[in-house]
Structures are given as C-alpha cells and as structure tokens.
Structure 1
Amino acid sequence: MSTDAKGAAEGAEKKPSIGWLGLGIMGTAMTRNLLKAGYDVTVWNRTLSKAEGMVQEGARLGKTPAQVVRDCDITFAMLADPAAALSAALGEDGAVAGVSAGKGYVDVSTVDGDTARQIAEAVRKAGGQFLEAPVSGSKKPAEDGTLIFLTAGDKALFDRASAAFDVMGKAKFFLGDVGQGANMKLVVNMVMGSMLASFSEGLLLGQAAGLSPETILEVVLLGAINAPLYSMKGPTMLKGSYSPAFPLKHQQKDLRLALELAEAVGQPLPVAAAANALYEKAREAGLGDQDFSAVLEALKQRRGKDGA
C-alpha cells in the first residue's frame, strides 16, 4: 500500500461511528450529509417510517436510543422541544441507559439551559461526555451543510465531533459551560422571530396604505434594513406559500423560552413579548405546522380581511 493510500485508510479508520436520534426536517438533512461524507450512522426515530427511509440511504437502524448510544462512539440528538429531548435522553431505554466511559452525547435540539444541564449531568454521571450544540439555520442550510453550531459543555467532545460539525455546517463556536449554547440559540431565534413579525407588519401596513407588496419587498431588500431572512422569506410570503423550513410552533416555543430566560436574568423584552403573543395567536389559528413566516396570516386575520 502506498504512503498516501495508507494515510487515507488510517484517516478513514479514525472516523467515529455516529448515532442520530430524531429525523425531522433538520435531522434528516444532517444525517444525509454525514452518510454522504462516509460516516457509519445508526438512526432512531419515534416514528419508525422516517428511520426506515434513512436506512434505504445507507444508515443502520437502532431500536432504542439506548441501543444507538451503545453501538456508536458519538450520538447526536435533534428533538423538537425540551420534553422530547428529556424523554429521548432520560426515558425508558433512553440514551443515558446506553452511556458508558468514552461515549459522547451531542444534543443539537433547541432547549433551555436547565434542560441541557439536566441531560449533561445524567450523561456525565454515567461516564460519558456531553455537548449541547443547537444550530443557527433551518432546512436549506441543513441540506447544504451550512449550519452554525453553538456548542457548550465538554471541550474534549467538541474536538472529537469537530470533523462531523464541519460536514454539517460552515461554522462552530465553543461557548463554555453547558447552558451557554442554549442561551445563544435563544438569543438568535428571539431576534429572528421578532424581525419576521415586524416585517409582516410592514408588508400589511404598506398594502393597507395602497402600496404594492412586491415594491415594498424590493425597497427593503435594497436598503440598510435588508437581511438574508427577508430575501429568503419575502417572496414566498407574498405568494402565501408556507412550506415549513422552520415550523411556526417551534419559533413560538423558542420565543417562550427566551422570555423565560429573560425573566430569570431580569432583562425586559417588550418587543419579543409582543412577537410571542402574535405567534401564539398564529398557533391558535392552526398555523403551527406551517413555516414560521405564516405569522403574516395571523396578522391578516386580526385585520378581519384577507389582506389582498
């Protein structure tokens, strides 16, 4: 074997086996990128059919979170909310039941700091290493491998998982103690949700005053207030198309968690509180499973007309 070939083979051998818990919009895309990069991936999902789809793409099937952790070097979890994250980690046959010395558990779910610390404590008590790693980015960045990882916890696990992060994302930050990754993600999503609520109000105000929504969007995109969020969401919002890249129910959950964090640290968030109330109305209107840009429809309903 040539020196180059031997080096390549040794590099391949060093790749950790990866477990993945949770195959929603984000988890499926991230797992697919790991498979394409040559990782040995074992998947688990509460709804079996989603896991079977990834098996057809080359993944192994895990029967329980505990079994996935036992079979893999590093296990990632991408769950919908704190309750789901806690259930997958600490429930019957949960991930912690499979943890032993040398195992790594990376929770990329968006949860609050207390939830992250609770899972971290259980993983470490079982002899494993823990890293929280929520991401900035939704469906398209997940598909493109351009997510931003906001991590905190065991630095040694950050180093071990670094190559996998690079496959799934364009940047990674290590922020210190467990809880800081969750805090950073809540800050980011709080700003994002508030921005889109304000943008929706601008579109409807302009329309009510007789302006073309297409022209409003064009002016916004050319000015100082332009942001990638507006260029990404604006065209589909004008069409009334809300295929979920980031479901509205999750955006509202993150705003709620941000407000809980604000209360804990004594920081008033009047704008975020108003945005959260609007997203709550959108959920009550049955828009929770639509993209979070469907908050525009909640505003239309409050006007009592279709906004056309």
Structure 2
Amino acid sequence: MSAGTEYTFRMGDAVWAKMKGFAAWPGKIDYPPENMKRPAMKKVMHCVFFFGTHDFAWLLESDLKPYQEFKNTFCNNSKKKSNSFKKAINEIEEFLKTGKTFKDSGASSSVEDAQMDADFDALVSGASSKPSTPMSTVKKSAKKRNLSRDSEDSGSSSSARKTKPAGRPSKKIREEASPEREPSNNHTSATSTLVSSSSSSSKKSASSAAVSNFLDRPTLHTPASPNFDLSSTSQTLKEKSIEPSKLNFGFLGLGIMGSGMVKNLLNSGHNVTVWNRTAEKITEFVRIGAKQALTPGDVIAESDIAFSCVADPQAAKDMVFGNCGVLTEMTTTKGYVEMTGIDADTSQDIAEAICLKGGRYLEAQVQGSKTQANEGTLVLLVSGDRSLFDDSQSCFQAMGRNTFYLGEVGNASKMNLVLQLMSGVALAGFAEGMALADRAGLQQKDVLEVLGLTSLACPLMVEKGKAIIEGAFPTHHPLQHMQKDLKLALNMGDQLEQPLPLSASANEVFKHAKRLGYGEHDTSAVYIRARF
C-alpha cells in the first residue's frame, strides 16, 4: 500500500492487509500461532488473521489500512470479486457485529454462494446486511446434505473405510477462477510468514505422535515446583533494610525465577506493573500489590524501568520485537533490563533496538535457582548503561545478595555462559558418579555424606544429590534451560575457535535427557540419562 497517513494498530483491529503480489484482503490484528515466529526485522510488524482463508501472516504496519476507512476503496468492482473474497467480507462484517471469528466449514454450496453474493452486494451498496436467508438455516441444510451424503457412502464404501488410516480424512478442494489472488500458505515473501492454523496443528500433532512412538515411553508429568508464600518476606530481605526507589517498575515474565524476584520487589516497597504470557499467574501478584498490564508494551508505558525474565533468546526477542511488544512504547525516558539467560549477540541486538528508540539498556544475568530468587540471594551479573545500573540499585538489592557491573553490553552474558558451562559439566559428572555408585551396590546417601566432608562439597552437589536420592526432581532450575545455556556456550566457543570437548559431551547428555521427556524437570533429572 502506498505511504501516507501513519496508523497505530491494536490487538483485534479490523484491517485491510496487502501482501506482495496479492490483492488487499480483510483481516484483523491477532496473536500469532505458537509455531509462528516473527521475521527478524526491526520495523513495526503485526500478525494478521485473514478472514475467509483463515491464515496468518506477519506484515509491516505500512502494508495495513483501517478496514472501515478503506472499505469502499477495496470493495469496488463487486462483479469481479471471487466468492472467497465475498465470504471474507461477510465474515469480517459479522466479526465487527458480534466479535466472533468464523471457523472453517469446508466447501460452500450454491445456496451459500448465492447468499454471499446477496450479502456482499448489500454491504457495498450500503443497504442492510441482514441475510435474506438466516445463516443458521443455511448451515443446517448444509449439515443435512453432508449427513445424507455420508449415509449414502456408508453402504458402498464401508469396506474401503475400514482400511483407511485413522486421522487422515479425505479432503475436497474447490478451486474457482478469480481476478484476485487469495492469501494462501503456498506464498512466501521477505516481509511476511504465512501459516495455516489448521495445517500447523495437524503437523504438530503428527510430529508429537512420531516422537512418542519412537521413544516408546509413557507421558511424563512435570513435578510441582516448590511453592512459596508470596505475601511472606524472607529473613534475608528483612535484614537488607532497602530504601525503595520512587520510580515505577515493570516486570515481564512470572516464571520460576521471575516470580521470586517480583515478590521481593513488592515486599521491599517498589511499585511494580507485571505481565505474563499465562494471565492466571498475575492474579496472585495483584493480590499483594502489583498492577496488571495486558501487553508487554503496556508494561513499558506504565514503567520508568522494566525488567524481563523469560525462557530463552527467542522469547526475549519476541518480547521486544513482537506485536504490542517493548519497542512500541519505548521512549527516551524509559529503561529496559534483560534478565533472560541469553547469548551476547542476542543481547546486543536488543540493545541496539532499544537505543535506536532512545531508551537505555542493561543486561542483568542471574546466577541461582528458584530458592535463591525467592530468598533474594541471587548473584547478578550486569553490563550496559551505567546510569540505568545506578537507577536500578534498589531493585538489585531486593533480588540478590551480590551485584557485579562488568562494563559493555555482552560481557554479562558471556560471564553467565562460562559459569553455566562449568555447572552443567560438573552436574553431568556428578550424575554419572551417583549412577556408578548405585550400579556398584553402594548406598547413595553414604556417597553424598562422604562427599559433604571433602573439598568437593558445595551447595549445588548437596541439593542435586538429595533430589537424585529422593527421585522426585522438583523443579528449581529446569533441565531444558541448562541445556539451552550449554548450547549457547558451545556456540560462543565456535565463534572464538575454543575447543570445548567436555562441554559438548555434557550437552549431549542433557539433550538426551530432554528428549526423554525431562526438559521441564529439575536439572538433577539428568541422572535418569546417566543410569542408561
């Protein structure tokens, strides 16, 4: 679409979406499917759901126009419009009235085609869009036709259906000539990624089934992570005597680590606005004084300084560059602190985007587990904007017992990966030792007791040893996060041409344990792999 007036679109807005090589098509701003990643572009983009075709695509904001304002422009030449286009118009008009989105209903009948033509002509002419034949009647008649057709087929082809694989229904595709090209998942462009919601879910289920059959293992239930009383203040926090900053703070991500950090921020007197991908978790924190935000962008708008602690580098990027993300509200008065375990390259990409919007950026990598996050005894490795580091001091005091400032962006990420590499290799070795002791007929509790009296004794080994003996593996630090950090450390070694043979072996051990279904269990579950 041609450049002109700039628009700021929000979730659920009805739009005209123009993909390269395709006619403008009605859609709405929507959340992307789980397996649909945002293209690596620093321009403002939105995920669009296309009515009629029920596909999704990432599009630049410059390729979108408000639906109502440009309705007459793109609905002209009604005689040349395809039935699919008319169906899309009817669906978006119904969406604007009821807020409901149509579901796929298969090929339409001639009665439905005639009804779409009438509805479309009425919409274009400005007449009442109320269907002459109720949609429910059309759907019922279509359902009857399908039922009768199925009953006719049952007599002649029942034996054929007996040999037909389950879950692979036949598909009837109706093609129609049209002057417009319709959005479809066969099209790929530099500025959009198109995904069919129905096909993606079927592929995902098929893939899951294949993995399950290959492993031949029962479904594993993730053990409950230790619960903490959010309203209680840890003894360590009481002893710190923190004077809270008068600034407004935000926090993105209320996971295993984020929950404890936010709890300590609130209990130390800070004003905090929170957002989490799973909204149910937010209720607990609102009860103890947090404010709720609907999107990551809203957190930035409400805060002077916002912290982010999510799962991995891709999730961190999605938080910043995604729809309604951090960049949409970033200004020269805002600060952003990335606490997700990421690599230096990802951190520098985020820093560049934040700084281009005039904001300040800091990476604060975390050493510790859920217990340390809850007690406020984490070790924080920080690098980036020094003034933002100073403004965040009261928050760092609430979260951890020690904070180290390491200079320019990237240094904290590198330091964290080095420490995680050491931890992962040591834990893999410890798990193998415990497995060997068990195979040799030794009592594991005796091994752990003797270990505690030697120079090898450390809190990590003692904590993980107890989990191995009990065999429950309650999640303090997810195994999949450790494997992610080992992978990032190996990537850093590749870039620097530094051999890391032990780290590579440890990564394979953790990777195998993750493949066996223990990714969401505690890192101590690597012992299961060591026993094989």
| Match of residue 160, structure 1, among 391, 394, 416 | 391
Task: Kindly indicate whether residue 427 of structure 2 is the aligned counterpart of residue 196 of structure 1.
Answer: yes
TM-score (norm 2): 0.54
CA deviations on 1:271-290 (whole Å, 9 max, x unpaired) are 11100000010011000010
Deviation at 1:192, TM superposition (A): 0.8
Paired-residue identity, %: 42
Q: Quick one: which of 236, 239, 243 aligns to 2:474?
A: 243
What do the CA deviations read for 1:45-77 (whole angstroms, capped 9, x no partner)? Answer: 111111222112210001111111111011000
In the alignment, what sits opposite 1:90?
321
The aligned residue for residue 456 of structure 2 is 225
User: Structure 1 runs of 4+ off > 6 angstroms?
Assistant: none
d(CA) in 1 for partners of 2:479 and 2:467?
15
Q: Which amino acid aligns with 2:324?
A: D
Superimposed CA distance per residue, residues 218-257 of structure 1 (whole angstroms, 9 cap, x where no aligned partner): 1111101111101122112111021101000111000000
* Structure 1 position 267, deviation (Å): 1.0
Q: Deviations over 1:135-177 (max 9, x none)?
A: 0001000000000111111011111101110011001111111
CA distance in 1, matches of 2:282, 2:343: 27
Q: How many equivalent residue pairs?
A: 290
2:286 counterpart (49, 55, 60): 55
Mapped partners of 2:333, 2:450: distance in 1: 54
Question: Secondary structure of 1:211's match?
Answer: coil
AA matched with 1:219: V
Corresponding residue to 1:270 among 497, 501, 505: 501
Q: 1: distance between equivalents of 2:371 and 2:506?
A: 24
Name the CA distance, whole Å, in 1 between partners of 2:407 and 2:328: 26
Q: How many angstroms does 1:134 deviate by?
A: 1.1
Aligned counterpart in structure 2 of residue 40 of structure 1, from 246, 265, 271: 271
Shift, 1:116, TM fit: 0.4
Describe how 1:69-80 pairs up with structure 2 within 5 A.
Answer: 69-80=300-311
The separation in 1 between residues aligned to 2:504 and 2:293, in whole angstroms, is 41
1:122-133 to 2 correspondences below 5 Å: 122-133=353-364
Report the residue type matching 2:285 in the other structure. Answer: M
Tell me, in whole angstroms, the C-alpha distance in 2 between the residues paired with 1:270 and 1:258: 12
Residue of structure 1 aligned with 2:365, choices 134, 147, 157: 134
More helix by share: 1
How many Å apart are 1:210 and its aligned residue?
2.2
User: What residue is the counterpart of 1:206 in the other structure?
Assistant: 437
Whole-angstrom CA distance in 2 between matches of 1:236 and 1:277:
21
Under a length normalisation based on structure 1, what TM-score does the superposition of the two structures give? 0.92
Residue correspondence of structure 1 range 164-179 to structure 2 within 5 A: 164-179=395-410
Any gaps of 5 or more consecutive residues in structure 2?
A: 1-242
Between the aligned partners of 1:219 and 1:238, the Cα distance in structure 2 is 15
Q: SS state of the match for residue 380, structure 2?
A: strand
Cα drift, residue 293 of structure 1 = 0.5
Between structure 1 and structure 2, the one with the greater Rg is: 2
> In the alignment, is residue 297 of structure 1 matched against residue 528 of structure 2?
yes
Identify which of 236, 260, 269 aligns with 2:491: 260
Gaps of 5+ in 1: 1-10, 303-308
Q: Pick from 101, 106, 114: which aligns with 2:345?
A: 114
Higher relative contact order (CA 8 A, sep 6+): 1
Query: For the residues of structure 1 that align with 2:264 and 2:384, how far apart are their CA atoms?
Result: 24
Distance 2:317 2:259 in 1: 20
Tell me the CA shift for residue 16 of structure 1.
Answer: 1.5
For 1:188 and 1:43, locate their aligned partners in 2 and report how far apart those are by CA, in whole Å: 29
Aligned CA-pair RMSD: 1.0
Distance 2:246 2:500 in 1: 44
* Per-residue deviation, 1:102: 2.0
Supply the distance in 1 between the matched residues of 2:437 and 2:465 (Cα, whole angstroms).
14
